[in-house]
Amino acid sequence: MSMTEKLDKVVAGVAAGFILPLLTILIIYLFSTGDKGIVHYFRRILEADILTHVISLCVLPNLVLFLILNRLDMLRATRGVLGITIFWATVVFAVKFFV
């Protein structure tokens, strides 16, 4: 069984699609300047009313992951990434209109 066959599972796609945006926000935080802590950073995002923009930006790498998995013909994992990306879009929608 090859590595792509082992990783071609919906659960693997969901896990990757959920973790990748979290890693993206961590990288954005690490490269931002002038913040004393992560709590202060998120407070600044909330005060600036750009939370939906930040979430959308963090989900963007899921598109790249989706295209890579699709190209590798890992369709089950691709389905998981698509599902969790729809979840993130729902979160953005909910935050935008209900918060």
Q: Closest Cα to residue 26, out of 9, 16, 41?
A: 41
C-alpha pair distances (Å), 83 with each of 8, 46, 65, 92: 15, 26, 13, 14
Burial class (CB in 10 A: 0-12, 13-18, 19+), 19: exposed
Asked if 79 and 12 count as a contact pair (C-beta separation under 8 A), the reply is: no
Distance CA 89, CA 63 (A): 12
Is 4 or 17 the better-scoring residue by pLDDT? 17
Model pLDDT, residue 18 = 96
- For residue range 16-68, list pLDDT tens digits in order: 999 999 999 999 998 887 767 888 999 999 999 999 999 999 999 999 999 99
Domain map (residue ranges) of the chain: 3-98
